[in-house]
Structure formats: C-alpha cells, structure tokens
Amino acid sequence: MQSRWQDQDAANFRQDPVALRAYTSRLLGAEPALVQHGGGNTSVKVEHTNLFGENESILYVKGSGWDLATIQPQGFAPVKMDVLLKMARLQKLSDKDMVQAQKAAMINPSAPAPSVEAILHAIIPFRYVDHTHSDAVVTLTNTPDGEAHARQVFGPRVLVLPYIMPGFILARQVFEHTRDLNWANYDGIVLLHHGIFTFHDDARVAYENMLKLVTRAEDFLRERKATEVRRATPTIKPGAAELAALRKNLGGLMGQPLLMKLNSSPEAVGFSSWDRAEATAARGTVTPDHVIHIKPRPMLVDASEDRGVAKFAESYRAYFEKHRAAEHKELDRCPRWAIWPGAGTLSIGTTAKSIRIVEDITRHTIACLQAGDALGGWQPVTEAELFEVEYWELEQAKLKVIGGSRPALQGRVAVVTGAASGIGRAIAEDLRAQGAAVAALDLNASVTETFSGDQSLGLVCDVTSEASIQSALQAVAEKFGGLDILVTNAGTFPPGRHIADLSESDWTNTLNVNLSGHWRVIKAAIPLLKQGFDPSIIVVGSKNVPAPGPGAAAYSASKAGLTQLARVAALELAPFGVRVNTIHPDAVFDTGIWSEEVIANRAKHYGLSVQDYKTKNLLKTEITSKNVAQLVTAMVGPAFSKTTGAQIPIDGGNDRVI
C-alpha cells in the first residue's frame, strides 16, 4: 500500500490540526481495503482556550454519518478530553449513557454525534489516532491461528488484544491493558476480528504507520498465497422472470418492496461456484459491524421451488430465538446477499444506496473468506458475538440514519420508454425523485448518460424490435431485480398530412411505433409485472384519441388503437393485480418536437399570440412535461391503487373532450 501523502496538499492544512486530520482521514478513506461504509474512524487532540480564558483539551473525533473518504473538518465532533478520560475510569457505563455523556461533553452542540469509539481515541496519548478495519489485518486474525499470525506479522511494537464488543467495554478493555504501558514502545494496536489503530503526534507518521502495518499483513497473505481468488464465467444465467419471482418472494420477508442486483463478475461467479462458499460465509462477517448491512450469513439460492427463501427465513428465526434476550424485537428475516452457484451473487436492499453498501461489503467479503480459508479456515467472531452487534441499539441507530425517511416509491422499479427527452424524460426523473429505481429506455443513446448511477439505468432500446426489448428487460432485472411500473411512452409524431397524401410507409411506420411498439413492450413486461409490487402500466395516449384533428390520421389512429390495447390489457391483467391506465396529454410544448419556431408558426396559423396559443384550453393554463410526470407519479401510487382501465386527460380542459 503506497502513501498518498502530498507535501503540497498537506501544506494547505499545516496551520489547522483539524483540517490536517481531515486530510489524512481522506487519504485513508481513499483505500477501500481499509475502510468500508462506516468501518474506521480517526481523531486529533487539540488544546484550545475557551470563552472564560481557560485551557481545554478537545478530542476531535469522526462524527457519525461522515465517511472517511469525503470527510471535512466539520465532520469531526469536538469532545472535552477530561470528560472522556473520566468516563474511561468508570467500572460500568451503559452504551446509551456513554453516548449521551459524550454528546453533552461536546463544545459545539450542532456538531455530529461522536463515534462510539471516542473514549478509546481519548485513552491513546498521541495527538493523531487512526483506526481502520483493514481487510488484510482482520482476515489474518479471522483464522484459527489468528493471534499467533498477528504477533508474528506485527512484532513486539504492536499490542495485540482479544476481541471484545465495540462501545464502552472495548474502551474499558484497552484502558485496563494500557494503564501501565510505556506507549513509546508501541506503534499500533491490533484488535482481533475488529481492526487496527496507529497513532503519533505527527499526522503523517500516524497515517503512514497504518499503511506500513497493513502492508505487512498484505505481504503475509500474499506469501501464503491467500490473496488468490477464484474467477469464473457464469454457467447459469438467471432469466428476467426468474429474478423477478425471487425478488417478489424476498419482498415478503422484507415486508416492503426491495431491489435486488445480480453480480456476475468473474470474482462473484468464481466464488459462487466454490463448493464451500456458503458454508464458509455462514461462519460470519469480516468484521462484526458488517452484520448490520449484510446479516450474519448469506442465503444460498437452491433448486427448490422458492429458491431457498423459506429455508433462509427459518434459519434467521432460529438464530434470533437462540440468542435473543427479553428486550429484543426481531428484525426482518430477509437476507441481504445471496450466493447463486454458477451465476454469481445477489445484493438485496430497499434502496439503491443500501444495495451499493451490500455490494461493496460483499465484494471484499468474498476475497477475505477465501484468504481466511487459505490460512487454515475462516474463523471470525462467534455467532453470539455477531448477534450482540446486530441487535446493539447503537448499530441499529446507524441504520436509521442511512435509511432516513421513506420516499413514496422506495424499493419499486420503473421502466419508461422514450425517456431520452420530453415527457418520457420528465416522467423518469419524477419517478426517480420519488424513490423508484428507474430504467430509461430510448433509441437515442444520450439516455445512457442522462440516466446512470446506482438508482438509474439508461438503455438504448428499439420498441420495433422484440429482441431489443427483451435484452433491455433482462438488464433491468439484473440491476434492480424485476419490474413494478411500466410507462409506455415511446412514440413518433409524423409531419401533418391529409389521408389522400399519406404514403404507405408513413402509415405503417407510425403504427409500428405508436401501436405495435407498445404492444411489444407490454407483452414482454407482463411476466415481470405479474411478480411486481403494486404493479401498474401507464400508457401515454393523446388528446387526439377523444378529439382528433385533420392531418394526423396515422397518429390519431395509432393512439386510438393503443387506447383500446390498454383497455383490453386492463381486463386481462386485473386478475394478476396489474393496473393499466391511460393518460391523454395535450399541448405539452416544452418537448423536443416543439421548437420556438414551430410554436410561433402554429400560433400565427390560428391568429393567436404564442402565450394564447400555449394556453388554448378551458383553464387557460400551460401544461408542462413536469405536470404530466406528476400525474403519472400519482397514478402509480396509492391514490390510484383501486383504479384500472381509466383514461385521464391532462390538457387544461378541452370542450371537445369533456
């Protein structure tokens, strides 16, 4: 592991120890092998003069909710050292009281809550303290000879301590072990199954000592050939409907809609094909704090009808019953990751963010498990110790922060066709803003850039090709697990021509996109929607259906046919709980079809000003693509949960439609 320290960058922070602390914290955070989603924390001790002219020693320790990779000075909680040191001397202290006392000892009440490892940082008598849950360090201790490995690798200048649950009792243990210690003889502390501390009065030395010690652990793993992981290409490729059925089943355990992502990287597939993968992973997580994100063990996807879902739920129930105390309330029984032999791994969660966390943690986990196995067997903390952390109130509080308040469409998956621009894009953006995972499909490749990241998927798709639609839906199922909301919007608006002047190709092309295209998309989506959460289809029709105009025969006929298709779909899909509703927008001018010039010409044609032309409806109001999007969002939500087969105009009121 190479030092990322840059003198030039560090010079910017020389004057401010907290800013320098933030800088080297970010350097640590830049190494995913050191810190994973909340694993690891750092601190600096600063002398300052308070309002009353008194000198105080303050510990600036990482605040909860901040990530080391991006932390800024305001991400550190300033806590009075004398209070922390007094707390370390207590024989007993509940974690709840500890958290409260730490908060009360902050000199800035609006700073984030201090890390639960704050007392531990206070005990270590150096200005800078760095703590990580390094993959390599934890892995070599997660083995039958873990302690011996640690002593051999790190030598006499590193204190090796047995595992104990984080929180006050850990701080207390370190206090007891170090009260008579000559700290000058030590560069670090290794906590078995947990992580490593380094410390120094110089920020750079503390940081680089961390890298030095971790590198020794990495070298040890490499020498023992423990860094080699299995790689393979998939021998099984789960189909979209198969994935959707599994997601639906898991949703029953989660008690809410969820996302599920297939990881078929060579490493994931290689691991999944290892005959001892599940048995090894079932022994426990890399560090105990991972348990709150990925549960104590993964699910094994098997050949049974429910793919192993009920079996996992039963094993979780038994685990809870075995370790519970009276005050514990069982969490959901839904796995957060699964091993699908020959196919790869699955990440499971209610939000795109939680999927990302699971995916990151399991990617490291599968390498650590194989390394531990190569070193004589994977042996992390005991199941009882994992339970203690999973049901520790302070860990549960962390999850609540990540979860936040729940957006209306959280955990649901939407597909919007024709989403590169105009109404389709506005719909896709609005659904995403309401928490849905959104796949945006379009012929225009720009959609792949507009819709990217964890919660979006932009796909080039041609609705005149069944193969193109199938491959898009497969990609959606692999990234999000299934489909709940289909907004079938892709359409074409041919130039105005009277029937007498309409060519054969104008006619057939328009019908092929505006009618048959929707049929192809709906048909392909039905198997997925049948496994959806509150599934529904929104068909984007047109005012031309109830109120056609001259010069748009192909367009009006295709949209009228489409409306009839939607009505039949409502009849056919009702038994499966799939709702099908149609919207009829009119005069939505903020879309690609309507340039300023075209609008001006049309207005002139009617002898109207542009403004009067845009608001040529009963309510005298302008209709935007955002208005249409908000209607769609409402219609896929609970307000319309008892409505199917409806046609809703969004046109400002039209006397021909009314």
CA distance 296 to 277: 14
Binding of Zn ion by 114 (CB under 5 A): no
Go through 294-304 and write b for each residue having 16 or more CB atoms within 10 A of its CB, e for each that does not: bbbbbbbbbee
Q: How far is the CB of 301 from Zn ion (least distance, A)?
A: 32
Cα 220 versus chain centre, distance? 33
Mask for 3-32, x = binds Zn ion (CB under 5 A): ------------------------------
CA distance 147 to 152: 9
Binding of Zn ion by 546 (CB under 5 A): no
Residue number, 38 or 411, with CB nearest to Zn ion: 38
Which of 128, 207, 316, 555 is catalytic? The answer is 555
Q: How far is the CB of 170 from Zn ion (least distance, A)?
A: 8
CA distance 424 to 488: 9
Identity of residue 339? I
Contact region with Zn ion (CB under 5 A), list: 195-203, 277-285, 516-524, 581-589: 195-203
CA distance 580 to 628: 17
- 3: tokens are 């030092």
Q: How far is the CB of 133 from Zn ion (least distance, A)?
A: 6
Residue number, 38 or 532, with CB nearest to Zn ion: 38
Residue whose CB is nearest to Zn ion in the complex, by number? 195
Binding of Zn ion by 372 (CB under 5 A): no
Residue number, 29 or 195, with CB nearest to Zn ion: 195
Could you give the 3-state DSSP secondary structure of residue 438? strand
Residue number, 116 or 650, with CB nearest to Zn ion: 116
Residue number, 290 or 579, with CB nearest to Zn ion: 290
DSSP code per residue over 390-421: HT-HHHHHHHHHHH-SPPTTTT-EEEEES-SS
Mask for 564-583, x = binds Zn ion (CB under 5 A): --------------------
Residue number, 31 or 278, with CB nearest to Zn ion: 31
Q: How far is the CB of 454 from Zn ion (least distance, A)?
A: 26
Is 555 assigned a catalytic role?
A: yes
Identity of residue 212? K
Q: In this chain, which of 63, 75, 195, 380 binds Zn ion, going by CB under 5 A?
A: 195
Residue number, 118 or 437, with CB nearest to Zn ion: 118
**Strand ranges (E), 158-212:** 158-161, 188-191, 195-200
# of chain residues touching Zn ion (CB under 5 A): 1
Contact region with Zn ion (CB under 5 A), list: 192-200, 321-329, 460-468, 493-501: 192-200
Please enumerate in sequence order all residues whose Cβ is within 8 A of that of 57, keeping only pairs 6 or more positions apart, or say none.
45, 46, 47, 80, 81, 82
CA distance 615 to 608: 10
Binding of Zn ion by 270 (CB under 5 A): no
Question: Closest Cα to residue 516, out of 552, 555, 563, 562?
Answer: 562
Binding of Zn ion by 251 (CB under 5 A): no
Q: How far is the CB of 41 from Zn ion (least distance, A)?
A: 7
Q: How far is the CB of 191 from Zn ion (least distance, A)?
A: 7
- 139: tokens are 């892995």
What is the set of active-site residues? Answer: 555
Task: Give the interface with Zn ion as residue ranges (CB under 5 A).
Answer: 195
